[in-house]
């Protein structure tokens, strides 16, 4: 592959492949000679700044760091409404390039394509590596990442025939077979109507093991038992989600569900969920805490999820209790609920099922949950709003002093996570949340109570306004960000307070908010209190997701955070793995770091350009906008296979 040439200098408007800025009918083109004279003057000023001759400017100003080499710039100046503001918009058209080459080209390290067997590579859930670990409690299904010497230095390929996913909401019901070429579930779950293959497409009828009338009708049945319409329930977690039809149909009720399932014999179920445009992660309840903060979800759900709730002294229900919000609901359908009707079909004895339900009831009582309702195939328990009354009674069962939000490789404990203290039985532990959508912009209780170090109500509101401005700027630079339906799955790699996600709330997208495990302040609880979803992640490791699952990646100061922790190229290779062909990347960094990032981005065959900060060219922080090129495995290798190779 002919590698892209790296410019010999930094330019805020340099773009690979020579794409131009489109001119507006309300704009005039700047005279190139005027621009050259202006640039010469600015370079002279930069020189004096560097010499310290002009004392009113710091010598470290960004202007002094940019060599005075004549630039070829095409720009426009908006003169409409008597405005002199500069108006530039980038034409990021993804390229279909030659991807056969490798090595160093013009000083750029070009990363070759990986072998086809890595098309669905999930580094920390590798089926081969998992076999080295204990099968007890499904520990072998947990995250087990490769060491540094085992990291791939190549680009994970898309399967031959890969197509851009259907736009939301059409994607809820349809996906291209070429994108996830697995027929296993169409056979294994044919009776349950999870998924059907129709020509070159998959159709998701919304069926499930315990909702034969479809997920939409099943959600309606739940709504008859607890109110899903008044905004009090916004975040949910689906344990053992299948293809995430429950979460998919909750979205029409303005409820955002985090679905998870292991990478197991039900091949690609989480991959199908993300292909549909539904939030999901590869995950399992085994020996570690789920990667979410305490008091995160308004509702938890298990529909024949096969989690042994009655075993291991109830530790899995205790973990659900930790992540459930005070007053939150746990919904269970499938074994052992209504076992008198179904025990023959489940091929289990009456005594066995009765014993399982009795044990679940005992653990729920130990957690101070109350049985809210059991009707037909559905049973619902409710977590108390506080531990005011049951604390003394259950004192021996409470966990010792700990951080209940710590959940990155944190061992499960057989104890009850204490809720924040309250003064009366009427108080909500941790604070009362607003109903959605007011919840998004209300001051989160974690902030108003002063439990988030360095964050105040005032700084929270400023952060929200800042990200509203920044996302508006992103959309002005790349007009495709304004196109409804073009993007669906977004990932914020360093979410802080969730301001980036909040700024997209009126778009048909959802955002996976990542709080890095290395962050100085754990803010994921704040993000959930806003009615958003996310997870913990160390970017020195791979994310628990399949390749090609996100349409847009946003990285704010990630490479600054991970400097001296892990390699820049490994983070960018992971970004390339999880980004769809023709997906977008926006990176915010100091200019010196961003120049190094761009060199690697060029080696990944991304179409990239460094742009000025939204506050102007004098800011050291710059932005890199990039688009991943479209490429797939060759037809001769891939198109004749009916299923993906397993490894």
324 occurs within a structural domain: yes
- Report CA torsion sign: 541, 545, 549, 551: negative
Closest CA to 629 of 606, 602, 608: 606
Name the residue range of residue 597's domain.
448-628
Q: Are residues 318 and 459 in the same domain?
A: no
Give a yes or no: residue 216 inside a domain. Answer: yes
Same domain, 230 and 359: yes
509 vs 102, residue with greater confidence? 509
Instruction: Average the pLDDT over 282-308 and give the result.
Output: 96
> How high does pLDDT run on average in the chain?
85
Question: At which of 399, 418, 437 does a domain end?
Answer: 418
520-570 pLDDT per residue, tens? 999 999 999 999 999 999 999 999 999 999 999 999 999 999 999 999 999
Report how far residue 503's alpha carbon sits from residue 514's, in angstroms, rounded to the nearest whole number.
Answer: 16
How far is 429 from 419, CA to CA, in rounded Å? 6
Taking 60 as the threshold, does the pLDDT of residue 100 lie above it?
A: no
> Is the same domain home to 456 and 405?
no
pLDDT digits (tens, 9 = 90+) for 134-183: 999 999 999 999 999 999 999 999 999 999 999 999 999 999 999 999 87
**55 band by pLDDT with thresholds 50, 70 and 90:** very low
Q: What percent of the chain has pLDDT over 90?
A: 72
Rounded Cα gap, residues 367 and 370, in angstroms:
9
Q: pLDDT at residue 275 above 50?
A: yes
Lowest mean pLDDT among 10-19, 353-362, 476-485: 10-19
- For residues 306 and 557, the model is more confident at 557
pLDDT of residue 86: 39
- As a whole number, mean pLDDT of residues 195-207 equals 88
% of residues, the chain, pLDDT over 70: 79
Nearest alpha carbon to residue 494 among 474, 467, 468 = 467
- Mean pLDDT on 65-83: 31
Q: Give, in order, the Cα–Cα distances in Å from 24 to each of 73, 92, 120, 155, 453.
A: 16, 17, 43, 37, 46
Q: Per the domain annotation, does 38 fall within a domain? A: no
511 lies in the same domain as 580: yes
Say whether both 455 and 402 belong to one domain.
no
Q: Which long-range contacts (CB under 8 A, 24 or more apart) does 508-516 make?
A: 508/168, 508/169, 508/484, 510/256, 510/277, 510/279, 512/279, 512/550, 516/558, 516/561
Last residue of a domain, one of 418, 440, 460: 418
Residues 384 and 462 reside in one and the same domain: no
- DSSP element (H, E) containing 475: helix 457-477
Confidence of residue 297 (pLDDT cuts 50, 70, 90): very high
On the question of a cis peptide bond just before residue 169, with omega within 30 degrees of 0, the verdict is yes
Q: Are residues 347 and 460 in the same domain?
A: no
Res 185: pLDDT = 62
Q: Is residue 169 part of a domain?
A: no
Comparing 74-88, 164-178, 397-411, 442-456, the range with the smallest average pLDDT is 74-88
pLDDT of residue 636: 67
66 pLDDT higher than 90:
no
pLDDT confidence of 90, banded at 50, 70, 90?
A: low
pLDDT at residue 40, rounded to an integer:
53
Residue 245 lies in a domain: yes
**pLDDT range class, residue 195, cuts 50, 70, 90:** confident
**pLDDT tens figures, 212-255:** 888 999 999 999 999 999 999 999 999 987 888 999 999 999 99
Instruction: Give the pLDDT confidence score for residue 213 in this predicted structure.
Output: 86
- What CATH number does residue 605 fall under? 3.40.50.150
Query: For residue 169, what are its two tokens?
Result: 């909401």
Contact criterion met (CB below 8 Å) for 593 and 559: yes
Asked whether 177 and 160 are in contact (CB, 8 A), the reply is: no
Q: What's the confidence (pLDDT) of residue 412? A: 97
Instruction: Kindly indicate the confidence band of residue 189, based on its pLDDT and cuts at 50, 70 and 90.
Output: low
**Among 184, 220, 214, residue whose Cα is nearest residue 202:** 184
Residues 259 and 219 in one domain: yes
Residue 38, pLDDT > 60, answer: no
Helical segments of 367-418, H only:
390-393
What's the domain count of the chain?
2
**Predicted pLDDT at 183:** 75
Closest CA to 617 of 10, 5, 3: 10
Helix, coil or strand: residue 82: helix
- Residue 222 shares a structural domain with residue 297: yes
DSSP per-residue string spanning 242-280 = TT-HHHHHHGGGT-EEEEEE-SSSSTTHHHHHHHTT--E
Place 281 in a pLDDT band, splitting at 50, 70 and 90.
very high
439 belongs to a structural domain: no
Judge whether 610 lies within some domain.
yes
Say yes or no: 482 and 392 in one domain: no
Asked if the model's pLDDT at residue 389 lies above 90, the reply is no
pLDDT value for 91: 60
Asked if residue 461 and residue 519 are part of one domain, the reply reads yes
Q: Same structural domain for residues 540 and 594? A: yes
Question: Range with the lowest mean pLDDT among 85-89, 164-168, 334-338, 456-460?
Answer: 85-89
Mean pLDDT of 610-639: 90
More confident residue, 76 or 459: 459
On whether residue 43 sits in a domain, the answer given is no
Query: Closest by alpha carbon to 556, among 614, 505, 622, 620?
Result: 622
């Amino acid at each position: 592959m002919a590698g892209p040439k790296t410019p010999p200098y930094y330019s805020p408007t340099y773009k690979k492949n020579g794409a131009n800025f489109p001119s507006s009918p309300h704009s005039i083109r700047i005279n190139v000679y005027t621009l050259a004279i202006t640039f010469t003057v600015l370079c002279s000023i930069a020189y004096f700044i560097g010499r310290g001759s002009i004392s009113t400017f710091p010598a470290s100003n960004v202007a002094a760091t940019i060599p005075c080499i004549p630039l070829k710039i095409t720009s426009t100046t908006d003169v409409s409404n008597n405005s002199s503001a500069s108006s530039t918009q980038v034409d990021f058209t993804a390229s279909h390039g030659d991807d056969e080459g490798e090595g160093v080209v013009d000083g750029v390290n070009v990363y070759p394509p990986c072998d086809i067997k890595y098309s669905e590579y999930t580094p920390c859930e590798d089926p081969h590596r998992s076999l080295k670990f204990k099968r007890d409690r499904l520990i072998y299904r947990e995250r087990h990442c490769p060491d540094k010497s085992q990291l791939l230095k190549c680009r994970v390929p898309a399967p031959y025939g890969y197509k851009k996913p259907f736009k939301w909401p059409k994607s809820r019901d349809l996906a291209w077979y070429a994108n996830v070429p697995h027929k296993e579930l169409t056979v294994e779950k044919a009776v349950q109507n999870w998924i059907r293959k129709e020509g070159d497409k998959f159709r998701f009828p919304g069926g499930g093991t315990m909702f034969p009338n479809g997920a939409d009708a099943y959600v309606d049945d739940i709504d008859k038992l607890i109110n899903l319409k008044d905004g009090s329930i916004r975040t949910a977690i689906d344990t053992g989600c299948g293809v995430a039809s429950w979460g998919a149909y909750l979205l029409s009720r303005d409820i955002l569900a985090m679905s998870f399932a292991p990478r197991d014999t039900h091949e690609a179920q989480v991959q199908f969920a993300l292909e549909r445009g539904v939030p999901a992660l590869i995950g399992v309840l085994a020996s570690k805490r789920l990667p979410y903060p305490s008091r995160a979800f308004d509702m938890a759900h298990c529909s024949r999820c096969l989690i042994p709730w009655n075993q291991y002294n109830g530790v899995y229900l205790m973990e659900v209790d930790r992540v459930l919000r005070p007053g939150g609901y746990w919904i269970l359908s499938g074994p052992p609920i209504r076992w008198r009707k179904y025990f023959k079909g489940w091929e289990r004895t009456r005594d066995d099922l009765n014993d399982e339900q009795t044990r679940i009831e005992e653990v729920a009582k130990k957690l101070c949950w109350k049985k809210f309702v059991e009707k037909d195939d559905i049973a619902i328990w409710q977590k108390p709003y506080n531990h005011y009354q049951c604390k003394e009674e259950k004192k021996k069962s409470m966990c010792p002093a700990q951080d209940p939000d710590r959940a990155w490789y944190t061992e499960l404990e057989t104890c009850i996570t204490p809720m924040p203290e309250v003064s009366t039985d009427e108080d909500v532990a941790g604070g009362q949340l607003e109903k959605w959508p007011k919840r998004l912009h209300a001051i989160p209780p974690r902030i108003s109570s002063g439990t988030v170090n360095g964050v105040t109500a005032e700084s929270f509101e400023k952060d929200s306004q800042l990200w509203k401005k920044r996302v508006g700027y992103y959309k002005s630079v790349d007009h495709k960000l304004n196109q409804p339906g073009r993007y669906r799955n977004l990932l914020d790699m360093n979410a802080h307070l969730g301001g980036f996600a909040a700024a997209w709330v009126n778009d048909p997208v959802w955002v996976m908010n990542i709080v890095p495990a290395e962050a100085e302040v754990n803010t994921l609880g704040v993000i959930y209190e806003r009615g958003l979803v996310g997870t913990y992640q160390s970017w020195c490791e791979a994310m628990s997701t399949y390749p090609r699952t996100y349409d847009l990646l946003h990285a704010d100061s990630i490479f600054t955070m991970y400097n001296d922790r892990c390699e820049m190229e490994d983070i960018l290779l992971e970004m390339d793995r999880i980004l769809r062909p023709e997906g977008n990347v926006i990176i915010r960094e100091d200019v010196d770091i961003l120049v190094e990032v761009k060199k690697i981005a060029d080696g990944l065959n991304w179409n990239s350009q460094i742009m000025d900060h939204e506050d102007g060219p004098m800011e050291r922080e710059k932005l890199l906008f990039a688009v991943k090129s479209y490429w797939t495995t060759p037809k001769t290798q891939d198109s004749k296979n009916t299923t993906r190779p397993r490894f």
